Amino acid sequence: MTDGIDRTPSDTEVCIVGSGPAGAITAYSLARRGHDVTVLEAGERLEPADHRRRMEMWLRPGFDRDAFWRDDERDAFTSTGDIYARLNETRLKAVGGTSVHWDGNTPRLHPKDFEMRSRYGRGRDWPIEYDDLRPYYAQAEREMGVSGVDDNPHGPPRTDPYPQEGFPRSYSDSLFAEACAALGISMATQPKAINAEAYDGRSECVGYGVCNACPSGARYSAEVHVRRAENHGARIVDRAQVLRLEHDASGDSVDSVLYATPDGSTHRQEADQFVVACGGIETPRLLLLSSSSQYPDGLANSSGAVGRYLMDHPNVTTNAALEEQTQQNNVGWVSSRSDQFYDPGAAGPGSFHLTFDNSARAASGGAQVRQPASTRLLGAITAPTPAGLADVATDPLNETSLGDGLEPPTTDGPPYPLSIRGAGEMLPRAENRVTLDRSTTDNHGRPVPSIELSDGEYAQRTMEHCLEIQADIMAELGAEITDVSTLSDRQMSTHHMGTTRMGTDPAESVVDAQCRTHDLENLWVASSSVFPTGGANNPTLTIAALALKTADHIDETLSSA
C-alpha cells in the first residue's frame, strides 16, 4: 500500500515523535531558529474537507464519533482498573493530535499546583515554580490565540492581558451568577483557544456549535503549528508509526527511532536530539517498548517511574430543571467558570473548579442535548455571523433574528434544563499506571498499553464536596435536580498526566526540570506525562508552555554543541 508520499529518513538535527500541541509547538519553536526538524506522526494528515465531514457526522445522533479516526488494531488497549480508560473516545492519532477534536479550554495551573508537598504535605513538588512558567504561559496564549477576560478573583496571577477579548457570557450564565453571588461564590470568564475575532490568519468563530469538530479553524488545533513549522523548513511525516527508540553502544544517548510506513517498510531515523511527544499513555508505552539489555525495564526507566503516577481529572455533574427559560443550548461551549474552591487549604479536600454548561441536558436527566448553532438557527450546515452568535448567547427570550427570512426556533415549554460540571484533583499514586499487556498486540505485534486507574479516597472526598456545592447553587437558583453523575459511574477523562514525571531525583522521576530524561543525554519528553501533579485545571495550556520551555533548552543544547 502506498500513496506516493516519501516517508524515508532524512538528515535532521531533531526528531520529534508526535504532532499534537507539544510536538508541533516544539517543532515550530526549533525550526524557526534554523534547526532541521523531523516530526513522525502515527496518524494521517486531515484536509479541510475532512474537518467539514467530521462536523457533519458529529451532528448525527447515531454516529460513532471516534470511528472517524480510530484504527482498532493500531489503537488497541486494555483497561484493568476501577475506571474504564475509553482511550479511543478521547485521543486522536492524526497530524495535530488530540487537539484536532478538543474543546479549547485553556486555564493555567495555579501556583499551589507546583508546591503541593511544600504547602500541604501531599503529592509532589514540581522542580519548577509557577513563576518559572509564567512567561511561557503568556507566550503559549499568544501562540494559540486565547480569548479571555482577566476577571477571575481566585485565578492564578497574571501580568499579561489575554491576546483576545473573551466571548460574552451566555444568558444561562447570568442565572447562575445571581445564585452564586447570593452564596458568595465568584464566577469568571472561561479562557478559550477559540478566536473571538480574526487572529493570526485564522477566522473569528462563526458559531457552528460543534467545537470538537470545528471546520472553520477558529478553534486552535496543533495543525496551526504544524503549518508554521513546515513554513520554517520542518518535515512532517504522517502515517509513520514509531515502533521503538534505539540507543548507542554506551547507552548514554539515543541514536535512532525505528518506524513503520503504510507500504510495509520499516526505517531508522537518526538525529542529534530526540523528543517524545506522544501524550500520557503512548509516551510511557514507547519507552517501555524500547527496552534493551542495558535498559531491561524500558528506556529512561532506571527509576521505575515510567508508566507510574498516572493521573486524570475526576469529574461530576449535576443536572437540574428550572421553570424559567435557561437558553442553555445557545452556545456550544462553556463560557463561565469558578475557581472559588481551587485552593481549599491544608485541612480541606482537594482542588476543583466549576463550569456552567452551555450544552443543556434533558430536564428529565437524559442524555446530553447538543443543538449546534448551525442547525438550530439556520436549519442547515450554515453558520451564523459572530455578532449574531453573541446576540443569541445573551438573549433571554430567544427572539434574536440572524438575518432576513431567518426566524428563531420554537422552544419546548418548561421545565428547562441546567447543568453544572466540576473537575477535580487526583493525587499521584504509584498503583495508577500504564504497563504493557503482552497478551494483546497491535498491528505490528507489539504489546498494547494497559491502563490501571482508580480515584482514591482523596479524589472521592474532593468530588463529594464539589457535588455539595453544585447542589447548593441549584437550590439557590430554585432548580429541581434531575440527575447527578458521580465518581461511581465515571470513565477516564480526556486528560492523561504524570506517567514520566519531572523531578530533581533520578531515583523517583524520569525527566529533569528541563524535561530531559535523567538516563539519556539527548532524549526529551514534551507531554502532560511530565506533570508531577495534575491540579484541577485542563492541561493543554501547560503542555504548550512546557513545550516552549523545553524547546528553549534544546536550542541551547544544539547551539552549544
pLDDT for 333: 80
Three-state secondary structure readout of 522-549: CEEECCHHHCCCCCCCCCHHHHHHHHHH
Length of the chain (residues): 561
49 plus 119 within the same structural domain: yes
Contact (Cβ atoms closer than 8 angstroms) between residue 341 and residue 153:
no
Q: Taking phi first (over 0 means left), then psi (-120 to 50 degrees means alpha), and beta for anything else, what does residue 304 get?
A: left
63 plus 124 within the same structural domain: yes
Give the residue among 196, 121, 210, 187 at the shortest CA–CA distance from 164. 196
Give the residue among 30, 144, 195 at the shortest CA–CA distance from 553. 30
348 plus 280 within the same structural domain: no
163 plus 127 within the same structural domain: no
206 located within any domain: no
67 plus 196 within the same structural domain: no
2 plus 69 within the same structural domain: yes
438 located within any domain: no
84 located within any domain: no
**Where does a domain end: 444, 470, 491?**
491
Parallel, antiparallel, or unpaired for β 352-356 and 336-338?
antiparallel
**Where does a domain end: 441, 474, 491?**
491
pLDDT for 346: 62
Q: What is the DSSP letter of 199?
A: B
446 located within any domain: no
234 plus 303 within the same structural domain: yes
| Strand ranges, E, within 56-183 | 78-79, 147-148, 164-165
The rounded distance, in Å, linking the Cα atoms of 415 and 100 is: 36
Q: In terms of residue numbers, what domain contains 359?
A: 155-201+315-400+409-424+455-491
361 plus 258 within the same structural domain: no
80 located within any domain: no
Parallel, antiparallel, or unpaired for β 336-338 and 188-189?
antiparallel
Contact (Cβ atoms closer than 8 angstroms) between residue 371 and residue 329:
yes
**Where does a domain end: 446, 467, 491?**
491
269 by DSSP, 3-state: which? strand
244 plus 282 within the same structural domain: yes
319 plus 359 within the same structural domain: yes
The rounded distance, in Å, linking the Cα atoms of 503 and 239 is: 33
The total of structural domains in the chain comes to: 2
Average pLDDT of adjacent 10-residue blocks, the chain of 561 residues: 85 98 98 98 87 70 65 92 90 90 94 96 96 98 97 96 92 94 97 94 83 83 97 98 97 97 96 98 98 97 98 96 83 88 81 88 43 39 44 55 40 81 97 98 96 96 96 97 93 95 98 98 98 97 98 97 78
459 plus 358 within the same structural domain: yes
Q: pTM of the entire structure? A: 0.92
Contact (Cβ atoms closer than 8 angstroms) between residue 199 and residue 164:
yes
249 plus 282 within the same structural domain: yes
The rounded distance, in Å, linking the Cα atoms of 34 and 18 is: 20
466 located within any domain: yes
CATH number of the domain that 140 lies in? 3.50.50.60
pLDDT for 403: 40
Cis peptide before 386 (omega within 30 of 0): no
